[in-house]
Amino acid sequence: MAGEQVDGTRPDAVTAEELAAAGLLLEIDGAVATIALNRPERRNAMTFATWRALAKIGRSLPAEVRVVVLRGEGKLFSAGIDLSMFSGGGEGFSDGADRAATDAFIAELQQGYTWLRDPRYVTIAQVHGHAIGGGFQLALACDIRVIADDARFCMKEPALGLVPDLTGTKPLVEIVGLNRALELCLTARTVEAAEAHRLGLAETVVPAAELDAAVADLTASLLAVNAGAAVATKRLLQEAPENTLEEQCAAERREQIGRLREMFGGAGKN
């Protein structure tokens, strides 16, 4: 991949040491940031440091970034949480005894996922091979999933006695509906690429050898659209499920006024 290797020159940027400790690669090439999960020998299992670093990346991306691609190095996207986190391997692990502390701990980790909804970016999960547990939820946190025909998703948490808590339950239910989400989570079964596509868990499925090219094509198409319109439209679409028709019509008017002012120089009397 071409691009600038992030080296911490911005004061708030994630440092090369933090990225390495988190098992991440970050490349920024103009309007495109590519984040790679980079612990292939651990099947890109993610640690608490991974999620903290993801959150920091989200807080510090340069203003020119418009598209964020998340991908995995090696044979698969991600095996989810590094299981050593449950055996004392994770800094700050909270066992739930202190409710408030555990709530704050999980909230901090969730920030590694929530920023992917930010209207400033269109976020793409480029998934090949397994996306398990926290890895599945990472893909669900993205706006668009482009997957290889060998991709497979599994919400493993209930099988381990836990619940999915990395922001995945809301998009899962929104995409597949409550009943299917229940079935997927409570059987912890693996959904193969073709079914994932059918359920709406992937926008595009391509042969594995064509995955990079498919994501590159999508990225180019996204960047061809006016930047301000992209941000405003994502914000508008995100509001739609919660809004009444009346509220959504008002939201459309509000966003369009912003666009008209920007495009045609309306100074804004009010």
CB closer to ligand CAA out of 50 and 123 = 50
Minimum CB–partner distance for residue 193 and ligand CAA (Å): 15
Cα 250 to Cα 1, 119, 193, 240: the distances in Å are 43, 18, 38, 11
Q: What does the alpha-carbon distance between residue 21 and residue 18 come to, in Å, rounded to a whole number?
A: 5
CB closer to ligand CAA out of 18 and 82 = 82
What does the binding site for ligand CAA look like in residue numbers (CB under 6 A)? 42-43, 45, 75, 79-84, 130, 132-134, 156-157, 160, 162
Minimum CB–partner distance for residue 76 and ligand CAA (Å): 6
Cβ atoms of residues 102 and 196 within 8 Å: no
Q: Is the dihedral of CA 179, 183, 185, 186 positive or negative?
A: positive
Q: For the chain, how many residues are written?
A: 270
CB closer to ligand CAA out of 23 and 33 = 23
CB closer to ligand CAA out of 30 and 158 = 158
The single residue listed with the structure tokens 């836990």 is 162
CB closer to ligand CAA out of 44 and 219 = 44
- How many of the other CB atoms lie within 10 Å of CB of 98? 11
Minimum CB–partner distance for residue 159 and ligand CAA (Å): 8
CB closer to ligand CAA out of 47 and 219 = 47
Minimum CB–partner distance for residue 12 and ligand CAA (Å): 28
Burial class of residue 242 (count of CB atoms within 10 Å of its CB; 0-12, 13-18, 19+): exposed
Minimum CB–partner distance for residue 131 and ligand CAA (Å): 9
Angle at 40 between CA 38 and CA 44, to 5 degrees: 65
Minimum CB–partner distance for residue 43 and ligand CAA (Å): 4
Characterize 121-146 residue by residue with b for buried, 16 or more Cβ atoms within 10 angstroms of its Cβ, and e for exposed.
bbbbbbbbbbbbbbbbbbbbbbbbbb
Q: Residue 2 — φ and ψ, nearest 5°?
A: -80, 160
Minimum CB–partner distance for residue 185 and ligand CAA (Å): 11
Cβ atoms of residues 138 and 78 within 8 Å: yes
Relative to beta strand 24-29, strand 32-37 is antiparallel
Using alpha carbons, select from 144, 155, 145, 147 the residue that is nearest to residue 181. 155
CB closer to ligand CAA out of 58 and 135 = 135
CB closer to ligand CAA out of 116 and 231 = 116
Minimum CB–partner distance for residue 267 and ligand CAA (Å): 51
